[in-house]
């Protein structure tokens, strides 16, 4: 039962992972909700520990990125009228938040977040394997196309009625031809 609940929670977290600037990230509002704190408290904790959040752990979205996130993610509609630009946290940044917030819930949530990122990586690897197999199958089938076309031509030739011969069936004697003897 607990494993099923954990899988369901991991999938809920995975649905909140976004692709921004070519990186998989989570927005501060989603992380605050998961960690059970306000977005303001989360961002204050980040400011107090700025040295723990380098640019590859966290970055602030641009206005255009914020609009795109709000447009594409219904659950982030509340950010539409926010005056501040949201922060985006990579997997390592989300994990670091668990260390900064220092609560038992933070530890549990950081484990869920890491599992969700791992699940996405596994799904991506599976999709790459599937794409490679499809490419291989396509190469094989394209070679078979010519062979199949040749078979179809041969079958069509066999289906054609042979020309009717004027010669009769069986032995016939040609009486007009003189024998040389």
Question: Mind listing the pLDDT tens digit for each residue in 56-89?
Answer: 999 999 999 988 888 888 888 788 888 889 999 9
Percentage of the chain beyond pLDDT 70 is: 82
Q: What is the pLDDT of residue 162?
A: 66
CA 163 to each of CA 118, 154, 160, 169: distance values in angstroms, whole numbers, following the listed order: 70, 17, 9, 15
SS3 63: helix
How much is the average pLDDT of 39-58?
90
Q: Give the angle 64-65-69 at the CA atoms, nearest 5°.
A: 120
Report which of residues 7 and 56 the model is more confident about: 56
Pick from 30-34, 59-63, 87-91, 176-180: least confident: 176-180
> Tokens standing for 19?
């692709």
pLDDT band per the 50, 70, 90 thresholds, residue 174: low
Is the pTM higher than 0.85? The answer reads no
Q: What is the pLDDT of residue 101?
A: 83
How much is the average pLDDT of 4-13?
62
How much is the average pLDDT of 39-49?
90
Structural domains in the chain, CATH included, are: 6-121 (3.10.260)
């Amino acid at each position: 039962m607990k494993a099923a609940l954990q899988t369901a929670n991991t999938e809920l977290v995975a649905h909140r992972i976004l692709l921004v600037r070519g990186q998989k990230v989570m927005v501060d509002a989603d992380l605050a909700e998961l960690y059970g704190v306000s977005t303001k408290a989360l961002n204050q904790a980040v400011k107090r520990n700025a040295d723990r959040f380098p640019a590859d752990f966290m970055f602030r979205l641009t206005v255009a990125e914020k609009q795109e996130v709000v447009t594409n993610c219904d659950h982030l509609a509340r950010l539409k009228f926010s005056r501040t630009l949201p922060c985006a946290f990579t997997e390592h940044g989300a994990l670091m938040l668990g260390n900064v917030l220092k609560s038992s819930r933070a530890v549990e949530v950081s484990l869920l977040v890491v599992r969700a990122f791992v699940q996405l990586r596994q799904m991506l690897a599976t999709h790459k394997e599937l794409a490679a197999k499809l490419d291989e199958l396509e190469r094989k089938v394209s070679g078979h196309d010519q062979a199949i076309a040749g078979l179809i031509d041969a079958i069509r030739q066999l289906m054609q009625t042979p020309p009717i011969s004027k010669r009769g069936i069986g032995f016939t004697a040609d009486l007009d031809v003189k024998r040389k003897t």
